[in-house]
Amino acid sequence: MSEPFLIMGLGNPGMQYALTRHNIGFMCVDYLARAYDIPMKRESKMNAMVGKGMIQGQKVILSQPLTYMNLSGEAYQKLIQYYHLPFERTLVLYDDIDLPFGRIRFRPSGSPGTHNGMRSIFEATGQKEIPRLRIGINTPLPMWDLANYVLANFSDEEKQQLPHLLKAITEAVAYWVASGSQSAMNRYNALDLLPAESELPKEP
């Protein structure tokens, strides 16, 4: 039996951050856990919430670090060492201000850019060949402070679209598990995942 896949969503722990843009990685893992009936539990030795289950006939480990974003590498490093996972069987999900809301980008490797969570993972591992899924949250307007923007809640319009988007991202992650980075890039990197107007819930 091959090794499991590790799917780690990045975010900040605590209810005050739960619905912020910076936590969309956490939101995706929560949605995956519900969609595939994978119970999540606190694993203190890993500094993370961890759940084990199956997606597309493959064993997976879902994870959300219990550290703050800028220390995400601690949990990632502990998990890959404990489960003896090669980097190519991991996928890190995180927010990206350089992509529009509704767009995602699979990448098999690359630099962390400005993202503190991904930078922490790079510093902990010394490795750039880490598959990731960048999730667009829009570029802040010039008057926005970057930290305030990513730690703010989604707009009302985005909140309305979010359930559809999280479902689409869950399907994309499942496709990655089954088919790998290159196929997932070809299928999803040019797609707009936002719902059509007719698919949005109507006001009562």
The tens digit of pLDDT for each residue in 19-78 reads: 999 999 999 999 999 999 999 999 999 999 999 999 999 999 999 999 999 999 999 999
Give CA 36 to chain center in angstroms: 16
- At 104-134, the pLDDT tens digits run 999 999 988 889 999 999 999 999 999 999 9
132 within domain boundaries: yes
26 within domain boundaries: yes
75 within domain boundaries: yes
Residues of the domain holding 187: 5-199
Quote the pLDDT of residue 43. Answer: 95
Amino acid at 31: Y
Residue of 141 and 101 predicted with greater confidence: 101
Quote the pLDDT of residue 200. Answer: 55
Q: What are the residue numbers of the active site?
A: 22
| Closest C-alpha among 8, 27, 62, 16 to residue 137 | 27
Quote the pLDDT of residue 201. Answer: 53
204 within domain boundaries: no
14 within domain boundaries: yes
Tokens of 177: 């598990």
- What is the tally of structural domains in the chain? 1
pLDDT at 86 over 80: yes
Amino acid at 170: T
Question: Looking at residue 70, which CATH number applies to its domain?
Answer: 3.40.50.1470
124 within domain boundaries: yes
36 within domain boundaries: yes
